[in-house]
Structures are given as C-alpha cells and as structure tokens.
Amino acid sequence: EAEVAQSPRYKITEKSQAVAFWCDPISGHATLYWYRQILGQGPELLVQFQDESVVDDSQLPKDRFSAERLKGVDSTLKIQPAELGDSAMYLCASSPDRDRVYFGPGTRLTVT
Amino acid sequence: KQEVTQIPAALSVPEGENLVLNCSFTDSAIYNLQWFRQDPGKGLTSLLLIQSSQREQTSGRLNASLDKSSGRSTLYIAASQPGDSATYLCAVISSNTGKLIFGQGTTLQVKP
C-alpha cells in the first residue's frame, strides 16, 4: 500500500539555525497538507496545497516559515531561523481531493 | 470559523468494555468527517471516513456515526482491548474552505 514519506524522522537543531523537512505524497494525490502538532494537542494546519498552488497558508508564520511544492508532487517546509517554540511534530498528509487523508510518520523537531 | 471539540480529553477503561468517544463541530457545512488514531510519537492512521450524506460507517469493532445537523459524531469501540490504547482524533473538511480541521483528541487507556 502506498504511503506518504517524510524525512528526516528526527531533527535536533540549535536556535537561529535553518531547518528543512521533505514530504513525498502518495502518487496522484493533488492535495498536500503540512501540519504542526505540539505534544498533547491536535494538529494545526500550516499550509495546504492543491497541486502546486497554495490554497491556505493563513496560519503559517511567514516571517520564518516557507513552503513550496514546485512541480505539484513533493514538498519542502523550511524554518529560518528556528526558535525554541518551534519544537513540535511536523506532519505531512495527502489526499486525492477532499477525500480520505493519509498522513506520513512525521518529523520530530527539537530546537535547543 | 469551524471549531472541533472532543470530549472527554482522556479516558481509562478496563479491558472488554464498550466505549464512546464524542466529537462536535460548530459549522455543519462539512464535506466529510474522519476519525484517526495516533500512537505516541507516531503519525496519524485513518480509521473511518464518513461522507456528509452518510449516517455511519463501520470497520471491525469500530462504528462511527454522524449527525451533521446537530454537529456531532461519535466513535463507538466494542469490546475494548489494551491494543486500542492511543489518542483518537476527529477532523472535518469544511465545505467552504476545504480545510481539514482537527479536534484536540481523546487519549484512551485500556487496562488489562
């Protein structure tokens, strides 16, 4: 069964450094989501893509976060500079189109 | 603005009990509702998807119902087992925005 791939699985970085996460959605899925999940809370949507276009990035802290999906396939989420409060699980998900959503294993970020 | 609430936040039951998890949402204009399971430190696994026109879905010992007009969904777990211990999250896709919005989750512990 096809899966959403994410890398790295774990990342430890120092405050003020740059960090990047990569996501490869299930083939053919037009919708791609990036979520941030703080321990004990539900996932919070950061950005939603439909093919290569951003559908919603209203909760993305644009002064430090950026996301791209240049060819409408895989996607990169970047943080620069990282802050202590960015420590969280970053989850990528994909969906054919407003249908069942499939999540990747996530990237656990620790900022020291 | 769509808001999703899950009650209770945590639940502990002895093995073998039947249990119900609750999810409510403020805007009935939804495309579908999904229930997910999350094990500690892991990504989310989709359990059940209910389209807005449906009333319920079943998978094994799990049954999810949807009452769109009242903004409620329930996840029923029959004959609970220790392996069911996890956090259960519900999420809705808004018809207006296409955003997938999560509740805070219910953390379930099933004691042997």
Q: Which pLDDT belongs to residue B61?
A: 97
Q: How confident is the model at residue B58 (pLDDT cuts 50, 70, 90)?
A: very high
Structure tokens at B108: 């379930």
Report how far Cα B70 is from the mean position of its chain's Cα atoms: 16
Return the amino acid letter for A60. Answer: L
Classify the C-alpha dihedral A22-A84-A65-A60 as positive or negative: positive
Q: Which residues of B touch A50 (CB under 8 A)?
A: 98
A104·B43 Cβ contact <8 A: yes
Distances (CA, A) of B95 to A25, A85, B37, B90, B99: 23, 32, 23, 16, 8
Q: How confident is the model at residue A89 (pLDDT cuts 50, 70, 90)?
A: very high
pLDDT of B40 > 80? The answer is yes
Instruction: Render pLDDT for B15-28 as a digit per residue (tens, 0 to 9).
Output: 999 999 999 999 99
Distance from CA of B5 to the nearest CA of A (A): 10
A56·B46 Cβ contact <8 A: no
pLDDT of B41 > 90? The answer is no
Residue position matching structure tokens 């490869």: A24
**Are the C-beta atoms of residues B37 and B47 closer than 8 Å to each other?**
yes
B residues 27..66 contacting A (CB < 8 A): 31-32, 34, 36, 41-46, 49
B43·A101 Cβ contact <8 A: no
